[in-house]
Structure formats: structure tokens, C-alpha cells
Amino acid sequence: MTSEKNDLLAFLRESIAELDFIAPEDIPDIDLYMDQVTTFMDTHLQHSRRRDGDKILTKTMINNYAKNKLLPTPEKKKYSREHILFLIMIYYYKGFLSLQDIQTLLQPVIGHYYKQDGDALGVADLYARQQELNRLQMEDLTNSLEDLSAAAASAFPEAEGQEQEFLQVFTLINLLAFDVYVRKQLIEKLIDRCLSDPKTAGKAAVKNAAKTAAKEKDNRKDAK
């Protein structure tokens, strides 16, 4: 049992380590055509594929996202660095959120952080900050795997052999699945409570963006 638990723990830790993060500095600061965008996404998120033939992003997906206003309209059939940032966010969200929820979440971002000039917070700033937090969260998740694996291994002490191995895997999947279920419920409740009214969400975004820009401007003055 100990050997099987350790094998599963090592496998999960390795799987987390292989997950792809696209660093802000890896995203080209030039406009790309659609074929170049899909190639970029396929290359940088290849380890996220479950099977070799799975597509990370297709032309149909991109057109669908733009049509449903999850993505700003491309300019002259070319996609900017900010478009790619939105596509990365959509890729992460679509595994557990509906297109409607993603649209509700991203519309204030498109409306108030897209194409910002000067000192104002932009999409790239939001993405970079979220990536920093995501990496910390991944460290916490990696550290919690040992407790989850131990709980799964000890859930059915009366079982032996192959039955015990199956029940350990079954229990571990259920623990992870319940975690996803709870987090998904919380995300949906936050969207419904805080973002369901586009006007309210938009006003909050503008207000917060203005405060942040003013604060950063003051900090730069103090530094001088």
C-alpha cells in the first residue's frame, strides 16, 4: 500500500510540474494572423493535451469566442498580444465555466483594461499578476497532495491487493473531484452575485482602475 501511495504521489507531483504556464515575456509583442496564433498556443500548451490528437485552439474556436464577445474583435484579421492573453484566459476557464460565464467575467476586462495607455492598468498587468498568484497556488496544491494521497490510501483498510489499489485511486479522484465541484460552485456564485449586472461590474472596474492608476502615480512621485 505504501509503495502504491508513493507512486501515485510522485505521478501527481510530476503531472503538476509538467503543466504549462505561458509567461508574459513569452508572448510576442507583434500582431499575428490566426494561423500563427493557433501555432503559438499549440506549442506553448502542448503538455496540457490529454491525448496527442487533441487541439488546444482552432480557427472555429477563435471565431466563436469573438462572435460571443469573449474576445475583442481582431483588427484587419490580425491578433495583438492582448488578444493572445484573452485566449489563454479563455483556455483555462473553458474547462469548468460556460461560455456565458466566461463572457460575464471578461466583458468588464475588455471594456476597461483593453488598449490602455500610459500608467493605467492593462490586460498584460492583470495577466502578469494572476500568473504570480497562480504559481503560488500551484505550490500550495503540490504540498497538499501528500495529505490527499494518505487519506485515499487509508480510506479502506479492510481491502487488499488489487481491490485496495482501485479504491485508493477511486477515493483520490473523488477527493479531487469534490474540490473542483466546490470551487466551481463558489466561482459561479461570485459571478452571479458580483458580475451578473454588466453596468454594476463595469462601474466597479472603472472605479478600481482609476484608484489603482492614481495610487501608482503617487508612488512614482514619492520615489522621485
pTM of the model: 0.82
Total domains in the chain come to 1
Q: How far apart are the first and last CA of the chain?
A: 62
Within 10 angstroms of residue 206's Cβ, the number of other Cβ atoms is 13
Question: Does residue 35 form part of some domain?
Answer: yes
pLDDT above 80 (res 159)? yes
Running DSSP on this structure, what letter comes out for residue 128? H
Question: Does residue 224 form part of some domain?
Answer: no
117-154 confidence digits (pLDDT tens): 777 899 999 999 999 999 899 999 999 999 999 999 99
45-65 confidence digits (pLDDT tens): 988 888 888 889 999 999 999
Question: Does residue 222 form part of some domain?
Answer: no
pLDDT above 60 (res 221)? no
Question: Does residue 220 form part of some domain?
Answer: no
Question: Does residue 30 form part of some domain?
Answer: yes
CA nearest neighbour of 126 among 12, 29, 24, 31: 24
Q: Which domain holds residue 16?
A: 2-215
